[in-house]
Every structure is written in C-alpha cells, then in structure tokens.
Amino acid sequence: MLGLGPEELGILALSLRVAVVSVICSLPLAILVAYGLARLSFPGKTLVDAIIHLPLVLPPVVVGFALLVLFGKRGAIGSVLEEWFGIVLAFRWTGAALASAIMGFPLMVRAIRLSIAAIDQRLEVAARTLGGSRLWVFLSITLPLALPGIITGTLLSFARGLGEFGATITFVSNIPGETETLPLAIYTFTQVPGGDAGALRLSIIAVVLSIIALATSEWLTRRSSQLQSDDRH
Amino acid sequence: MIDIDIEQQLGAFQLAVKFSVEAPIVGLFGRSGSGKTSVINAIAGIAKPLRGLIRINDAVLFDAAQRIDLAPEERRVGYVFQDALLFPHLDVESNLLYGQRLRSPKERFIEEARVIELLGLGALLRRKSKALSGGEKQRVAIGRALLAQPRILLMDEPLASLDVPRKTEILDYIERLRDELNIPIVYVSHSVTEITRLADTVVVLSEGKCLAVGDVDEVMGRLDLKPATGRYEAGSVLDTRVTAHDSQDQLTTLAFDGGELIVPHLDASIGERVRVRIRARDVSLSIRKPTEISILNVLPVFVAAIDEETGPIVDLELAVGSATLVARITRRSFQQLGIRTGQELYALIKAVSFDQRSVGYA
C-alpha cells in the first residue's frame, strides 16, 4: 500500500491506535473538566486549571518521568493497577496512549471549555423550564452546542498524540512493535548510519497525517456550526 | 388561582411581594427594576426566594416552611422569554416538541396540532430558528412553552424586541390563546398599553414591593399609582360593549354605564366586550356642555379627586357612572375654570384619539 513496507505499516497502525485510544479515553473526562471550569465556581479552581495546563508548559520529559514514578510497576498508582486489575502501563502501548492523553489533555479541555463558555446559559434555563432534567439538558442542549469545540479539541489532541515524543520515550521507552510510534521510529532512523531515507519516508507520512487531521477538523467544525445556526443577534 | 408570598434578596435589591389573584391573564406591571422578572423567575424556579410560598391552583411549587422547592423541570411552568431563546441547533418542530417529549402521554392535554393551528406555525415547522423573523421566533417560543403542558404560562416582556406591527400580531395570538386554552397567563410588562389590552387583573410592582392588586380598569385609573404607572402613560380603562356600527362613517359606538363612546370602526360584533384605554392627555374639560364642536364624545362627569403636584400639570380623577376617567390639564386651565372636588363637568374625548393598540377584545 502506497509503497509502504510491513514494518512501516506496523508503525503507522501503532501510532494511530495509540492516538485514537488516548483521545477516546480522555474525551469524556475532558468534557466534564471543561464544563466544570466553564460553568462552576469552586475553591481551588485556579489550581485545577493550572494543573491541567501543566503538560503544555513542562518539558515533556518531566511529564514522562512523573508518569514513570506514578504508573511504573512499583509506582503509587501503577502497583495498584497491576495488583487489582492486572493492568500494566509501563513499557506497553497503553502507556504510550496514557502519555499522549496527558500531553493532549490541556488542548482538548481548552477548546471545549471555550465553546461551552460561549453558550447562552439561558438556553439551558429555558430547557429546564420545559421539563428537562440537568443531565438531559446537558446532553440535549449543552453538548450539541459545544460540538464545534469538542471536534476541534479532539483533533488537536489527536494530532498532539501522533507527534508525542518526550513523555512517551521516557515513560514506555522505544520498543519496536510495542511502543515505537512514528516520532520514535523517525528518531531511531536518525540514530543509525544511512537511516536518512527511512526517516524521510516516515516524516512524509507524519506530515500527511497532520494535514489530514487539520483538514478534517476544519471541515467538521464548519459543518457543525452551519448546522447549528447561531440564534444570537 | 395564583398565590405568591415571597421574600428574596438580590444583592442590594430586596423583593417582598405578596398577592393572590385569579384571572385568565394577570398583568405584572412596573417599571424596569421593579422586580417583575424576579417574581416570575421565582415562580419558574430559576431563582430561589429566602422565604415564602408559591402556589398555582392546588400545586405548591415552593414552600420554605415545609422545605418544598420543586426543580424547574418539575414545576410545569411555561416560560416565554423576552428574546424567545429558541434552541439554535434544532429546527422549529424539534423546538416545539422539546418539552412535549419530556411529558408522559397522560400529562398531555394540549395537542401539537392545536398549538400549531392557534399560533399559525404550520408553514414554519421545517425552518431553522435562524431563518425566522422576530415575531415568528416569539410565536414558536410560545408554542414550545405550551406544548410542555404547563399549568401556567409566564411571559416576560414577550414583545419588547419586536416592531409595532409584530407587537400587534403577537397580541392577537395571545388573545386567541386566552380564549381557546384554559391556561392562566402571567404577563409581565412595563407597557400600559399591553397590560390594559390583555390583562384582567393587574399587580403593580415598585421597588420590589406590591403597590396594588385589582381589576385593570380600577387599578390603571388610580392617580396615587402614577409614580409607578408612569407620568406620560397616565390614563384610564373603560370596560365597554359594542352597541352599534355606522358603516357609512365607519364609526363604532361603545356603551358603558357612564354613557357612550364613539370610536373609529372596530372589528368586533355587536354585544362583544371591548376594553378601551383613554390617555389622560386626550381628555379635555368644559364647564358647560359645548355645542358646535368637532369632538364627538362629550360625557357628563364629576370630579372625584385632584392630583395637584407642583409644575404646570394637574391630573383629575373623574367619575362617570361607576367608571373612572383621568384627565390631564394645565394648571392655568385648572385655575381659570376654578375646578373643585365634587364639581360637575363635561369631559371631551376626540374619537380619533383611540388607536387600534389601545383597544382590547375582552
């Protein structure tokens, strides 16, 4: 397919799997956190906001190291996960997905939060007076109206996940077939003599994927905002 | 029956309102900032009072003493907001059915087809809310509230963002609802014209307090409420019946127990009840019955009360039969005529001073 070797296809598939799983698992939490930050006021809100944004400003290696300490086999959370649920994240592709999710989380929350904050809250009040419970109003009014932000956030986080390098290599290392995603594979090629051609081929794939993600985001956002004609004058 | 007795603190503003009314349309009247919207927000459960009781017919929606505080979705209170607030991601039909779908079939007593017919929504169902005019949006909002099967309909200045022709159109629709559906309406407005045209009973609010409660024709003519009803808008309301049409001159005669009024042609049948509002500044006074004059309406009255503030203007409350008229004249005329309480006078009202918007079909 497109002149890609089985090895390259494997890398591509792994990268996509890591990014997709990371986005699917983090989306519900991101929506809840974004709603909380946009609509509720509670003590410590600024702190929560800062913690969520940390991965955006910290060196990714630091995030990876923190994950290693917390989710490693002997880490505070990692040991519990393994003992109780038999889930191991360290040095597995699932760990790479976790690293991607955390690095992409601030981008996702930011986009969703902005679109929730832009919704006229009185629409939700109107829906309540029409008989909608809090939960139903959230599902039938808030979520659909926040859709453009949800799409943007998801695709930003997806793209960020595809390109994740520092936190991933620190947390789950660079194991071919298990944790060697696209950026890690490119890095590997650049470290061996004569690997430039391979690095270039993979880099082109990365560029194409990113463009597709951005174009899709743009298209979906435009479609959904056309669908929900803006009522405000 | 609507029983309200609530106290609420909104920042520096204190609301303490108590009234008990029963009417097809209750007008909640007052200037902006008088607490009108706060009262209906409390009825709808959007804002929570500190103390008090809210009861619609037999249903207690809020009772601080018994710790009853129903959630907005449990109150079955239809709310029509000033700016419609249609859901922008849904078409007209889905907007209309939003509330109906949340009610079980046995709670439904207002049918979709009926509402669509009453409000003339048939042609709009597939449209997006963006593609609607202001008046259409407001009609859809009213239909949406009705289909949620409410026990009461609250309308918060529903005409405020509309132009005059749309206002008249929506007023007609609201009158149809009143006549066709058996749902009490609380109509909030700062417009005397709208209140006198629609409401049977009025609650006058000022600075978070209830100033007066009563029949619209009695309350709106009271001079002591002038600070709340507004100086410019001062006037009175007469409850009349159509007695004759003059098709040649296109005039309609209205009778009430103080006499007859001739107004430009009204689209109403003989015997129909019609409420007319007469602005105080449209009423002139004469000591003797004038002849050879263009004014068609000359009514014998006597002076019931005089509101003599400082300034160039004097307002007079005039008794005509059991009804009340308010006349506004200059202090100079007042002094030149030497008007006293109890004096008999003639009130002159030009037929052309009645406009369509000041006439309501009761």
Give per-residue pLDDT as tens, B113-136: 999 998 999 999 999 888 898 899
Using the beta-carbon criterion (under 8 Å), do A129 and B144 form an inter-chain contact?
A: no
Using the beta-carbon criterion (under 8 Å), do B44 and A140 form an inter-chain contact?
A: no
Mean pLDDT for each 10-residue chunk of chain A (233 residues)? 76 93 96 94 91 93 93 85 83 92 95 94 95 95 94 92 92 90 92 89 90 87 67 38
> What Rg do the C-alpha atoms of chain A give, in angstroms?
20
CB of A102 within 8 A of CB of A174?
no
How high is the pLDDT of residue B300?
Answer: 93
Domain boundary among B176, B195, B219: B219
By three-state DSSP, how is residue B362 classified?
Answer: coil
State mean pLDDT over B273-285.
87
Domain presence at residue B230: no
How high is the pLDDT of residue A228?
Answer: 59
Using the beta-carbon criterion (under 8 Å), do A231 and B86 form an inter-chain contact?
A: yes
Asked if residue B28 and residue B168 are part of one domain, the reply reads: yes
B335 pLDDT higher than 70: yes
Residue B156: give its domain's CATH number: 3.40.50.300
Q: Total structural domains in chain B?
A: 2
Find the CB nearest A229 among B78, B88, B98. Answer: B88
B235 pLDDT higher than 70: yes
Report yes or no: B162 at the A interface, CB cutoff 8 Å: no
Domain presence at residue B11: yes
The DSSP H or E segment spanning A120 is none
Using the beta-carbon criterion (under 8 Å), do B79 and A126 form an inter-chain contact?
A: yes
Lowest mean pLDDT among B210-224, B300-314, B316-330: B210-224
Report yes or no: B158 at the A interface, CB cutoff 8 Å: no
Domain presence at residue B229: no
Find the CB nearest A129 among B77, B103, B131. Answer: B77
Q: How far is CA B336 from CA A139, B285, B298, in A?
A: 72, 12, 20
The DSSP H or E segment spanning B297 is strand B297-308
Mean pLDDT taken over chain B = 88
Give per-residue pLDDT as tens, B25-41: 999 998 888 889 999 99
HSE-CB at B327 with a 13 A cutoff on CA atoms is 27
State mean pLDDT over B304-328.
87
Question: What residue numbers bound the domain in which B67 lies?
Answer: 2-219
- Give the distance from CA B187 to its chain's centroid: 6
How high is the pLDDT of residue A230?
Answer: 45
Asked if residue B152 and residue B107 are part of one domain, the reply reads: yes
B129 min Cα distance to partner chain A (Å): 7
State mean pLDDT over B213-220.
84
Asked if residue B239 and residue B96 are part of one domain, the reply reads: no
Domain presence at residue B226: no
Using the beta-carbon criterion (under 8 Å), do B102 and A131 form an inter-chain contact?
A: yes
By three-state DSSP, how is residue B63 classified?
Answer: strand
Q: Which residue has the tokens 């109906």?
A: B100
B162 pLDDT higher than 70: yes
Asked if residue B215 and residue B352 are part of one domain, the reply reads: no
Residue B253: strand pairing partners:
B244, B262
Taking the model in full, what pTM does it have? 0.80
Asked if residue B175 and residue B93 are part of one domain, the reply reads: yes
Domain presence at residue B224: no
Q: Which residue in A34, A39, A8 sits closest to A201, CA to CA?
A: A8
Asked if residue B50 and residue B179 are part of one domain, the reply reads: yes
DSSP assignments along A21-83, one per residue: HHHHHHHHHHHHHHHHHHH---TTHHHHHHHHHHHHHS-HHHHHHHHHHHHSTTSHHHHHIII
How high is the pLDDT of residue A232?
Answer: 39
- Give the distance from CA B33 to its chain's centroid: 18
Amino acid at B189: S
B180 pLDDT higher than 50: yes
Asked if residue B190 and residue B96 are part of one domain, the reply reads: yes
Asked if residue B194 and residue B239 are part of one domain, the reply reads: no
Q: Return d(Cα A140, Cα B306) in angstroms, integer.
A: 59
**CATH assignment of A6-227?**
1.10.3720.10
Domain boundary among B219, B246, B277: B219
How high is the pLDDT of residue A125?
Answer: 95
Lowest mean pLDDT among A33-47, A88-102, B95-109, B266-280: B266-280
3-state secondary structure A134-172: HHHHHHHHHHHHCHHHHHHHHHHHHHHHHCCCHHHHHHH
B273 pLDDT higher than 50: yes
CB of B296 within 8 A of CB of B350?
yes
The predicted complex's ipTM stands at: 0.81
Domain boundary among B157, B191, B219: B219
Asked if residue B105 and residue B177 are part of one domain, the reply reads: yes
Minimum CA–CA partner of B134 in chain A: A233
B183 pLDDT higher than 60: yes
Residue B267: give its domain's CATH number: 2.40.50.100
State mean pLDDT over B98-103.
92
Report yes or no: A136 at the B interface, CB cutoff 8 Å: yes
How high is the pLDDT of residue A233?
Answer: 36
Backbone angles phi, psi at B101, to 5 degrees: -65, -20
Percent of chain B with pLDDT over 90: 50
Burial class of B7 by CB neighbour count within 10 A (0 to 12, 13 to 18, 19+): middle
How high is the pLDDT of residue B196?
Answer: 83
B194 pLDDT higher than 50: yes
Asked if residue B133 and residue B91 are part of one domain, the reply reads: yes
By three-state DSSP, how is residue A107 classified?
Answer: helix
Asked if residue B181 and residue B71 are part of one domain, the reply reads: yes
Asked if residue B68 and residue B18 are part of one domain, the reply reads: yes
How high is the pLDDT of residue B175?
Answer: 87
B104 pLDDT higher than 90: no
State mean pLDDT over B194-217.
88
Give the orientation angle of helix A196-227 with respect to helix A6-39, to 10 degrees.
Answer: 40
3-state secondary structure A168-192: HHHHHCCCCCCCCCHHHHHHHHHHC
How high is the pLDDT of residue B357?
Answer: 58
